[in-house]
């Protein structure tokens, strides 16, 4: 409707030409009247565009909230990590209209809560694991850690970050040496156990079941069932648990496996004791610490 009013004003202006325009040889009155008529007809044709009726502001407001609510709830839960049982607290915050400074304060508090939760779930267990080899220990004194963390953020800490890293690295190095010693000692003690054979490479094995079939070469494909664990019994991989055998060439696995698979006849079941230098080395991988001796039960199902 506003558009129509504007156009009508334009038409009125065309119908009433100025004296200046007449003197300068502008359009004649007849031409102006004709154009005004054409304009009025064009405006009238616009009436067919608007067929809907406006929505009352209160109805629109309610409808908009209802339309956005499901996606907001999903975003709050899935993206912001809001627990369903605390949805009322989320709603209370949603309804609050704080000033800018209060909003910044609450945002900072929420960020601190998030980091605190990450400390509990990941950082502290990770530091305990690095320092002691066990993420469930209470070696790290949490109140002291949090005090030093907060003071460091504020710039009032007794230690610099570099000094702190040096001390942490010293403990991690010590724990690595302790772990290395324990794994090396396991192999030394295991070597004298009944039926354990030690190869020149340092790998050890014990025959649990003798096979009578073919022995793989580097170009063979070997189908196996297996389970691997650390010297403390922690299982890190198991085809038995997955309920599915694995197949690969002897050249596609760690050195200890390569050596064993090219010695085991089809149908064999051996227990392997693989030193770290024939496995994942000093660095380890995501599930296996550096310097780990790996113990595997390996069953050669088929040699192709």
Task: Give the model confidence (pLDDT) of 71-81 as tens digits.
Answer: 999 999 999 88
Which among 196, 285, 271 has a CA at the least distance from the CA of 226? 271
Instruction: Specify the pLDDT at position 2.
Output: 46
> How far lies 93's CA from each of 96, 103, 113, 253, in Å?
5, 10, 16, 55
| Residue 183, H or E segment | helix 161-190
Per-residue confidence (pLDDT) for residue 24, from 0 to 100 = 52
| Section 174-197 average pLDDT | 96
Mean pLDDT of the chain: 90
Asked if pLDDT for residue 271 goes beyond 60, the answer is yes
Distances (CA, A) of 190 to 19, 195, 220, 302: 117, 10, 31, 29
pLDDT of residue 15: 44
Residue by residue, DSSP assigns 8-19 as: HHHHHHHHS--H
pLDDT value of residue 42 = 86
Asked if 260 contacts 205 with a C-beta cutoff of 8 angstroms, the reply is yes
Q: What is the pLDDT of residue 138?
A: 87
Q: What is the per-residue pLDDT for 91?
A: 93
For the residues 50-73, what does the mean pLDDT come to? 91
pLDDT in tens, 110-142: 999 999 999 999 999 999 999 998 888 889 999
Residues 195 and 149: their CA atoms lie apart, in Å, by 53
> What pLDDT was estimated at residue 58?
93
For residue range 17-26, list pLDDT tens digits in order.
Answer: 444 444 455 7
Question: Which of these ranges, 10-14, 36-40, 44-48, has the smallest mean pLDDT?
Answer: 10-14
Give kind and range of the element (H or E) at residue 156.
none
Model pLDDT, residue 25? 56
Residue 299's pLDDT is what?
98
Rounded Cα distance between 43 and 227, Å, is 83
Give residue-wise pLDDT tens across range 161-177. 999 999 999 999 999 99
| Nearest one of 127, 138, 135 to 234, comparing CA atoms | 135
Query: Does pTM surpass 0.75?
Result: no
Tokens found for residue 249 = 């060439």
pLDDT at 6: 43
pLDDT digits (tens, 9 = 90+) for 80-96: 889 999 999 999 998 98
* pLDDT given at position 96: 86
pLDDT at site 76: 94
What is the predicted pLDDT for the residue at 238?
97
């Amino acid at each position: 409707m506003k558009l129509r009013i504007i156009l009508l004003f334009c038409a009125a202006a065309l119908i009433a030409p100025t004296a200046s325009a007449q003197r300068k040889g502008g359009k004649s009155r007849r031409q102006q009247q004709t154009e005004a008529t054409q304009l009025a007809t064009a405006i009238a044709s616009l009436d067919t565009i608007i067929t809907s009726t406006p929505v009352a502001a209160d109805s629109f407001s309610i409808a908009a909230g209802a339309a956005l609510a499901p996606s907001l709830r999903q975003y709050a839960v899935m993206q912001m990590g809001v627990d369903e049982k605390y949805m009322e607290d989320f709603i209370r915050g949603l309804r609050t209209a704080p000033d800018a400074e209060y909003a910044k304060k609450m945002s900072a508090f929420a960020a601190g809560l998030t980091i605190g939760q990450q400390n509990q779930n990941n950082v502290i267990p990770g530091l305990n694991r690095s320092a002691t080899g066990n993420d469930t220990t209470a070696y790290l004194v949490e109140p002291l850690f949090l005090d030093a963390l907060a003071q460091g953020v504020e710039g009032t800490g007794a230690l610099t970050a570099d000094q702190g890293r040096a001390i942490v690295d010293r403990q991690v190095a010590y724990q690595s040496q302790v772990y290395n010693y324990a794994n090396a000692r396991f192999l030394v003690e295991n070597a004298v156990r009944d039926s354990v054979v030690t190869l020149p490479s340092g790998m050890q094995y014990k025959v649990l079941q003798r096979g009578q079939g073919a022995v793989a070469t580097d170009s063979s494909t070997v189908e196996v069932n297996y389970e691997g664990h650390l010297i403390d019994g922690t299982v890190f991989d198991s085809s038995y648990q997955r309920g599915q055998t694995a197949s690969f060439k002897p050249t596609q696995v760690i050195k200890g496996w390569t050596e064993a698979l090219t010695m085991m006849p089809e149908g064999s079941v051996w227990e392997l004791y693989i030193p770290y230098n024939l496995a994942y080395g000093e660095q380890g991988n995501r599930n296996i610490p550096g310097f780990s001796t790996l113990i595997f039960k390996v069953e050669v199902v088929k040699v192709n």
